[in-house]
Amino acid sequence: MQTIPNARLWHPQGWHDGVKLNVDAHGRITRSLSGGTTPQRVVPGIANLHSHAFQRAMAGMAERQIDPADSFWTWRETMYRFAARFTPESLHAVAAQLYSEMLEAGYTTVCEFHYLHHRPDGTPYADPTAMSRALIEAAQETGIRLTLLPVLYMTGGFDGRALTERQRRFGHDVDGYLRLLDALRTHQCETVRIGCALHSLRAVPDDAMRAVLEALPADSRIHIHIAEQTAEVDDCLAVRKARPVQWLLDNAQVDERWTLVHATHLSDAEVQGVARSGATVAICTTTEANLGDGLFPLRDYLDAGGRWGVGSDSHISVSPVEELRWLEYGQRLVTRRRNIAVTPASPSVAATLLQGVATSAAASTGHAIGSLADGEFADALVLDTSATQFAGVTDEDALDRWIFSGNRSLVRETWVGGRCVVQHGRHFHSDAIADRCRIAITRLLAD
């Protein structure tokens, strides 16, 4: 039996002193024991609810104007050019680098929204799971917990147009997609779960969505891009005569298994409908800002009691602190007020934000994680309380200091399933992983 040493432990109900977590051979907490006081502060690991691992390789390479009306849609063309260059080997190298960075920053689980299925010309690999397995192997190498979400991508728009040449490697028919899911489920284990991703309403026809949903296991997690762009809302209204989120709520059994990625552009009725459904919204603040998508209506959604979490999406930032901080700051810029994300029970902004990501983690990922309760996996972060940012720290301000005191990572150790994978802020294999990634990216850019 492994243990995580005595700590002052935070979970969504508050701080508890002198807690020692006993961990069984499967990485689950068997019981929590209370001991004496300690300055060491431990918080639950954070789930990254939305990732496109390959896009980490192009971070910072789409920041030059190519059109006076640059937007998500022009950025997407650059992304497609990068996507066409990846092989299973280069995807593994880039994903391992990304996942080690996530662990160092405080993410302990990642939901990988994966659509690079085939060769660039759209023909399948001899092993149709080759690209997916590259991600699984990268996760297992680094020690991050993974929810792999193979993507169904069938059409290029709401009008049913065929995929473009650059989209062909993403595509499946329904039968081929379900075969892929079946093959990948043989790789499930305590640290890997296989879910389902519907790319978007524009990329998955209504009948295909229904067929896939009927075929899924009852406990499968379902993620979908939705209402990210105003053009998507307009096109959905034109073709399906409803806004995207409202159409989904009316035509699918949306519940706690679902994660709606972005959901940036919501009407008041959609805010209430998503909150009532029990679905999670994956807010990707830094990517949504980078792409000029818009700002999620956080205050209204909190008032409605909605469930939410964060994702780093295109990975122009790999930091849960930055995702949470700018989620709050965006609301301040719009309202011209401070301390927006609070509740009557929690006047601390950071505590409210961390409660949000903690309470959505299990529902969105399918893993027993989020609050370091007995029976959950021991996925934990040890904060660097020796840092000057924590001088004179108290329970009332510890979380706010972590989230709002600067850009230096204050995570000293990261534990996944009771196993320490980051110590003194560094992943155990970071140097070797970084060397492979540099070689892979250099080759990608040279081809």
Instruction: Examine residue 400 and state whether it is found in any structural domain, yes or no.
Output: yes
| % of the chain at pLDDT higher than 70 | 99
- Split at pLDDT 50, 70, 90, the class of 2 is confident
Please give the Cα distance from 427 to 318 (Å, whole number): 14
pLDDT of residue 300: 97
Co-location of 324 and 401 in the same domain: no
- In a shared domain, residues 329 and 393: no
With contact defined as beta carbons under 8 Å apart, do 236 and 159 qualify? no
Single out the catalytic residue among 118, 172, 223, 262: 262
pLDDT single digits (tens) 207-220: 999 999 999 999 99
pLDDT at residue number 77: 86
What is the tens place of the pLDDT at every residue in 192-242? Answer: 999 999 999 999 999 999 999 999 999 999 999 999 999 999 999 999 999
Question: Domain holding 109: CATH number?
Answer: 3.20.20.140
For residues 30 and 143, membership in a common domain is answered with: no
Strand partners, 381: 43, 414
Both 40 and 51 in a single domain?
no
Question: Is residue 356 located within the same domain as residue 384?
Answer: no
User: Taking residues 137-155, what's their average pLDDT?
Assistant: 98
What phi, psi does 425 have (nearest 5°)?
A: 80, 5
**Residue 402: predicted pLDDT:** 98
CATH number at residue 381: 2.30.40.10
* pLDDT value for 36: 63
| Residues 21 and 104 placed together within one structural domain of the fold | no
The pLDDT value recorded for residue 408 is 93
84 and 217 share a domain? Answer: yes
Domain annotation covers residue 442: no
| Mean pLDDT over each residue of the chain, to the nearest integer | 95
* Same domain? 213 vs 347: yes
Q: 385 and 353 share a domain?
A: no
**Phi, then psi, of 93 in degrees rounded to 5:** -65, -45
Q: Above 80 in pLDDT, residue 447? A: no
Give the residue from 314, 343, 365 where a domain finishes. Answer: 365
Is residue 262 part of the annotated active site? The answer reads: yes
Burial class (CB in 10 A: 0-12, 13-18, 19+), 74: middle
What's the domain count of the chain? 2
What pLDDT shows up at residue 246? Answer: 98
- As a dihedral over the C-alpha atoms of residue 201, residue 47, residue 375, residue 426, rounded to 10 degrees, the angle is 150
Percent of the chain's residues with pLDDT above 90 = 88
31 confidence band (pLDDT: 50, 70, 90): confident
Say which of 293, 313, 379, 384 is annotated catalytic.
313
Query: Is position 56 within any domain?
Result: yes
Domain, as residue range, for 408: 2-44+373-430
Q: Which helix (H) or strand (E) holds 414?
A: strand 411-416
- Please compute Rg for the chain using Cα positions: 21
In a domain, 446, yes or no: no
Residues 324 and 377 in one domain: no
Q: What is the mean pLDDT of residues 262-269?
A: 98
Residue 440 lies in a domain: no
